[in-house]
Structure formats: structure tokens, C-alpha cells
Structure 1
Amino acid sequence: MIVASKAVEKRGRVGVDTVDPRDEPSAEWGWHGSFPKATRIAGWLSAIILLVMLYGNHHGWTENLWLIGLSLLMMFGLVLDIRKQRTAWRK
């Protein structure tokens, strides 16, 4: 007689970065991923360029507030991304 046990069988975690070739056939014949380092570099350069745009010929503070706000928002997101990358192995 076979009886079900009360122990919970845990399934193995499927990696977020793994791609099953049946789902996306391009993974069989080529690269499939992202550019994390280049994305961060582009993000920091964009945030710095927004701050450099403060030196212009505009007169009002509205443009300055938008440039500063967007730049700070981008920098905050980039810092969170770096923090997430550093602590990803702990999870």
C-alpha cells in the first residue's frame, strides 16, 4: 500500500537568467543576454550629461529642476542596481 507523506517536496529554483532553447530557439545558435556593464556606463554618462545641460542659455528654473530631478532619479536607480548586483549572491 502506498501512502502519501506529509513532507513537502521542494522544486529546484529555476534561474532567472537561464533560457530554455525550446522557449527561445535563438539561444541555441547565438548570444542571449544583456549588457549590464555597458548599461550602467550609459546610465552614468546620461545622468552627467543632464547635469552638464544646466549650463545653457535658459532663464527659468523649471528646466533646471527637471534636469536635476531626472539626473538624481537616474543616479538613485543606478545605485539601487549596483546594490542589487552586490547582494544578489546572498539570496
Structure 2
Amino acid sequence: MNVAASHEKAPEVHHGVSTLDVPSAAWGWSDIGRNTIQIAGWISVLFLLGYNFGNHEGHVETIWLLVLTVLVVIGLLIHLFEPKLAQRRTLTARNKPVGHQEPEWAYLQKTLSGPYAELTDNQLIAMNIDPTRVQHLRKMPREDQRPLESEHQGSLH
């Protein structure tokens, strides 16, 4: 019996969010929507502007309140419009042509077929595949395409 395993917490799922993904899922913070953030943010902006009308006499407080208000407004506008900036746009599973069927890459790799059929020994080693273990799967050239043994022996000297 593994004693340490008995102390592991089992993952819980709250409102479709696992505690493995978000440890605070039970608190409900994962369920805050975009509208809630926007409403709370703009109410905060109004409060920060309202604090300007008070009993302070200096302008240091006013400057701090205005700077904080501007920062919150900028954050809310970025959150509202979500600029893409330098995000890369790549081909994904969502924009494949109709009827496209993805090859079974794992099967092709294990059977050395498809694009994996013509890999050299060095390429197989780079993929952590021992060429001697998959020799029976590799395509061997026909007899008329094999180089003469004397040509290989002559180049070694």
C-alpha cells in the first residue's frame, strides 16, 4: 500500500471546471463573465471619479485618482475590444476543408508508411527509433536499383 497516495486530493468539478485546472473553481471565480467584469469596472471608474469631490485640499490625491481612473479605463477598453496584436493566425482543425480527414500519424510512424517510409537511419535515430528494430518494415530497393558492392568498397578506401 502506498501511504503517500492516500494524502492526494481527488479532483473536484464545479460548474464544469476541474480543480486540477483552476484550484479556486469551488469559489466560483471561474464563472465570472465578461459582462460582469465590465459592469464592475465601470462602477469602479465612477467611484474613483466621485472620490475627487471630497475634503482633500491638495492636488496629489486628485492626480493619483485620475491616473488610477485612466489605467482602469484603458484596461476595460482593452478587455472590451481584445486587440489581436501580433497573434499568429495558423491553420487549425476549425478551418480545414470540408471532407478533410487527418492521417493517422501515430499509425504511419509505427508502420513506417506514408511520409515516414523514406526516412534515413539518422532521421529514425533523431526520432528515437532504432533502425535495426524496424528494418523489417522498411522498403528495400529492388535488385536492379542496388549499387554494386565494389562501388561501396572502393569509396571506403
Normalising by the residue count of structure 2, what TM-score does the alignment of the two structures yield? 0.36
In the aligned structure 1, how far is the partner of 2:31 from the partner of 2:13?
Answer: 14
Which position in structure 2 is the counterpart of 1:49? 47
Match of 2:12 in 1: 25
Is 2:21 the counterpart of 1:34?
no
Q: Aligned AA for 1:41? A: I
SS of 1:50's equivalent in the other structure is helix
Give the unaligned 5+ runs of structure 2: 1-10, 18-29, 90-157
Superposition map of 1:1-91 within 5 A = 25-27=12-14, 30-32=15-17, 33-35=30-32, 36-84=34-82
* TM-superposition CA deviations, 1:17-44 (whole Å, max 9, x none): xxxxxxx5314xx353331211111011
Amino acid at match of 2:53: Y
Query: Which protein is bigger by CA-based radius of gyration?
Result: 2
Question: Identity of counterpart residues, as a percentage?
Answer: 29
CA RMSD, 1 decimal: 2.2
Aligned residues: 63
TM-score (norm 1): 0.59
